[in-house]
Chains A and B, each alone.
Chain A
Amino acid sequence: GAVVSQHPSRVICKSGTSVKIECRSLDFQATTMFWYRQFPKQSLMLMATSNEGSKATYEQGVEKDKFLINHASLTLSTLTVTSAHPEDSSFYICSAKTGANEKLFFGSGTQLSVL
């Protein structure tokens, strides 16, 4: 089956620093990638949708200047949390879909802890 690789799986950083999370589709071309965040025992909240070669579409309430998303190729999307603060601590998960295939393939997630 399709594999989505997400790195790092866990990151601890100091407040004010930036963190980059990578999401790669290993054996398929991801025309669309989605970034979610998830707090403990809560649902996945969609942050943004990115299509290869175009700007990401952010959900209401998500700051595009804080959560920079780049989808430079059909196999790679990155999320950069800029000037991270403790309230940004969360589980970030990417997912990818290809063409008209409706199901999503998820990465294994990144647990971000901002001290």
Chain B
Amino acid sequence: SQKIEQNSEALNIQEGKTATLTCNYTNYSPAYLQWYRQDPGRGPVFLLLIRENEKEKRKERLKVTFDTTLKQSLFHITASQPADSATYLCALVSSSNTGKLIFGQGTTLQVKP
């Protein structure tokens, strides 16, 4: 069966450190993968998109990698700040479907000052 898995345990790190979140998928062949941020009681906000032919994408303090062999994406936040505390969702589109986004369950990041 198709699965998108993110670490359900909260990630607690110290301010200034790099946070690394993992997204693994099975039985998908995604044309691209996206990362979103969701704050409590709010809708998700788009952060980054990485395509299947891209290895890495950066945006300010954010970096995403995409390994289609391992079927994994890593999401990094460097020089983390307490304001980065939120739930981060990965989402992917299978090249075989209608373009619908399927979301992982999210990983909650807590950055402590």
Segment from A14-22, A42-50, A68-76, A78-86 that makes contact with B: A42-50
The SS class assigned to the A binding surface is strand
CA distance A108 to B43 in the complex (A): 4
A90 interfacial contact with B, CB 8 Å: no
Partner of A103, one of B46, B100, B104, B106: B46
Contacts of B89 in A (CB 8 A): 43-44
A106 interfacial contact with B, CB 8 Å: yes
Partner of B49 from A32, A44, A102 at Cβ < 8 Å: A102
A-B contact count (CB 8 A): 52
Contacts of B44 in A (CB 8 A): 44, 93, 95, 104, 106
Q: Does B45 contact A (CB under 8 A)?
A: yes
A91–B104 CA distance with the chains assembled, in angstroms: 16
Q: Does A111 contact B100, Cβ atoms closer than 8 Å?
A: no
Q: Determine the distance from Cα of A41 to Cα of B89 in the docked complex, in whole angstroms.
A: 12
Contacts of A42 in B (CB 8 A): 105
Given contacts A43-B89, A102-B49, contact A49 B103 (CB under 8 A): no
